[in-house]
Amino acid sequence: MKTFKTLFAALSALAMTPAAAQLPPPEPVLPVMRPAIPLSPGKCDGAEQWERMFEQTNVRNVTCPSLYPVLPKSGRANGKAVVVVPGGGYQFVSIEQEGFRVADALAARGYTAFVLKYRTVETPRENAAFMAAMAKLFGNLGKGELADNPPAVDDLAAALRLVRDQAGQRGLDTGKISAIGFSAGARAAIRLLEQKDEARLAESIALVYPPMTQVVKTGPRPPLFLAIAADDPLFVQGKLGLVQAWLAESPKVELHLYSGGSHGFGMGIKGTTSDLWIDQYIAWLDRH
């Protein structure tokens, strides 16, 4: 089985080996032509950069957040919604691998999905400087803490409000809105639970390879689905701390700890049991 070359693996290699500096730089691509709902007033400044990098499409320097509805086929909708929050270290939004591909899988099973393109921190516009910054960030994964990005948390709260407000016209149950976050997106979901009243709009929360050192200090504890690989630096760093703290407050936890897959397995094919996570997550959504 072909191994999917994740962005994390490539950037980690860039940080560790001089030869990897010859890896191809990001290539500009046109924005994805999918319907989008703006989450902030006013016109976007056009500064965001859509790029193809290491076999996946990402977007960075996002200043105008938006939400992309991904709908099930006519007659297949189950009345449930999921807000999808990609990762990217807050430097970019992994909008394909951890966004649209996840949403498409959910929609194929009857869920109305919404991919969140949240505001990111500013990154160098020039490729060499950007790649150097990314290599440093991802090369240190699991060796410290990612700085928070409050605008991303605000955008997630706004996304949940919008889905709730549009539930009637979309045939959705306001009590059946979930959220799933990947890596930095999972950290944003944790901060949402701690800081935002909109957290109570989420019937369930899924955290996929989140920072395991994080503990939800306050706020609601909806049913939790958590998926991570044992060889992920974020698991090595924090082990089961997040899960144990959650269980102290609520027994509604489903944990999938895979023996392999590293960080950022997303919708890629790794040849490990982490490839099964999306089916396991949807099965949990169907039944929990």
Domain that holds residue 91: 7-287
* pLDDT-derived band at 10, boundaries 50, 70, 90: low
Predicted confidence at residue 40, as pLDDT, reads 85
Could you tell me which of 86, 90, 85, 98 has the C-alpha nearest to residue 148?
A: 90
254 inside domain: yes
Number of C-beta neighbours around residue 27 at 10 A: 11
pLDDT at 5 over 60: no
Q: How distant, in Å, are the alpha carbons of 36, 68, 98, 199 from that of 33?
A: 9, 10, 17, 30
* pLDDT-derived band at 8, boundaries 50, 70, 90: low
pLDDT at 188 over 90: yes
1 inside domain: no
2 inside domain: no
* pLDDT-derived band at 160, boundaries 50, 70, 90: very high
Per residue in 49-97, pLDDT (tens digit) is 999 988 899 999 999 999 999 999 999 999 999 999 999 999 999 999 9
Q: Which two tokens stand for residue 272?
A: 């490990």
The domain tally of the chain equals: 1
243 inside domain: yes
Per residue in 100-144, pLDDT (tens digit) is 999 999 999 999 999 999 999 999 999 999 999 898 888 899 999
Q: Report pTM.
A: 0.94
Could you tell me which of 88, 99, 65 has the C-alpha nearest to residue 180?
A: 99
Q: How distant, in Å, are the alpha carbons of 87, 241, 253 from that of 246?
A: 22, 9, 8
Could you tell me which of 283, 67, 83 has the C-alpha nearest to residue 199?
A: 83
What secondary structure does DSSP assign to 19-67, as a single string? Answer: GGGGSPPPEE-PPP-S--EESSSS---S--EEEEETTEEEEES--S-EE
222 inside domain: yes
DSSP assigned state of 146: P
CATH code of the domain in which 189 resides: 3.40.50.1820
Collect all residues with Cβ–Cβ distance below 8 Å to 132 and sequence separation of at least 6. none
